[in-house]
């Protein structure tokens, strides 16, 4: 852009009071344009974010994990069980973990008896034994016709 003050720009010159007034008036238009452009950038950014959210939400529907047949998903869940110990009543371990991912995964996990055929139980104090008994009964009821492999009480 051309400036009538180009001869004193980037120097140590001090503009006169009249020049200061002219500079203020000169900057009014560019400042308004900056505000207008920033508003456009903000609106465009918001629109882009909305579109990206829309695309991401719909792309998630195309996830290959959503397309797995129930029998394959069930086998994956069984493979998630720790090979050296029985599963515990712990939300961050399988089978409870996989049953909290989605409604479909919960349905598949709850209909996979082998996930519920064994468990590790630690009884911290006698007062919690009644609640634990209820949880154990529910857990084992999910095992269906699968033989219960082991019950470890500590």
Residue 137's nearest CA partner among 127, 124, 106, 121 is 121
Tell whether the model's pLDDT for residue 147 goes beyond 70: no
User: Which comes out higher in pLDDT, residue 21 or 121?
Assistant: 21
Tell me the chain's radius of gyration from C-alpha atoms.
33
pLDDT digits (tens, 9 = 90+) for 28-63: 999 999 999 999 999 999 999 999 999 999 999 998
Residues 70 and 85: their CA atoms lie apart, in Å, by 25
Model confidence pLDDT, tens digit, residues 101-116 = 999 999 999 999 999 8
Q: In 3-state terms, what secondary structure has residue 1?
A: coil
- The pLDDT of residue 82: 87
State what percent of residues in the chain have pLDDT above 70. Answer: 92
Cis peptide before 95 (omega within 30 of 0): yes
Confidence of residue 145 (pLDDT cuts 50, 70, 90): low
Q: pLDDT at position 91, please?
A: 84
Mean pLDDT of the residues in the chain: 88
User: If pLDDT is split at 50, 70 and 90, which confidence band does 149 have?
Assistant: low
Cα separation, 62 vs 87, in Å, equals 31
Q: Residue 121 pairs with which residues in a beta bridge?
A: 153
Per-residue confidence band for 137, with pLDDT thresholds at 50, 70 and 90: confident
Candidates 143, 121, 117; CA nearest to 132 is 121
Average pLDDT of 77-102? 88
Q: Please, are residues 87 and 81 in contact by the beta-carbon 8 Å criterion? A: yes
Which residue matches tokens 């961050």?
A: 92
Cα 128 to chain centroid distance, Å, stands at 34
Q: What is the pLDDT of residues 91-102, one digit of tens each?
A: 888 899 999 999
């Amino acid at each position: 852009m051309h400036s009538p003050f180009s001869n004193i720009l980037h120097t140590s010159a001090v503009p006169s009071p009249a020049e200061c007034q002219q500079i203020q008036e000169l900057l009014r238009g560019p400042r308004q344009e900056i505000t207008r452009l920033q508003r456009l950038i903000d609106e465009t950014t918001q629109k882009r974010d909305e579109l990206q959210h829309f695309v991401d939400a719909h792309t998630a529907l195309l996830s290959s994990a959503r397309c797995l047949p129930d029998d394959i998903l069930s086998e994956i869940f069984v493979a998630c069980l720790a090979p050296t110990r029985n599963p515990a009543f712990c939300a961050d371990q399988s089978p409870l973990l996989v049953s909290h991912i989605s409604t479909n995964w919960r349905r598949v996990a709850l209909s996979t008896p082998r996930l519920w055929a064994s468990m590790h139980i630690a009884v911290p104090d006698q007062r919690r034994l009644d609640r634990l008994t209820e949880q154990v009964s529910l857990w084992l009821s999910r095992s269906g016709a699968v033989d219960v492999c082991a019950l470890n009480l500590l």
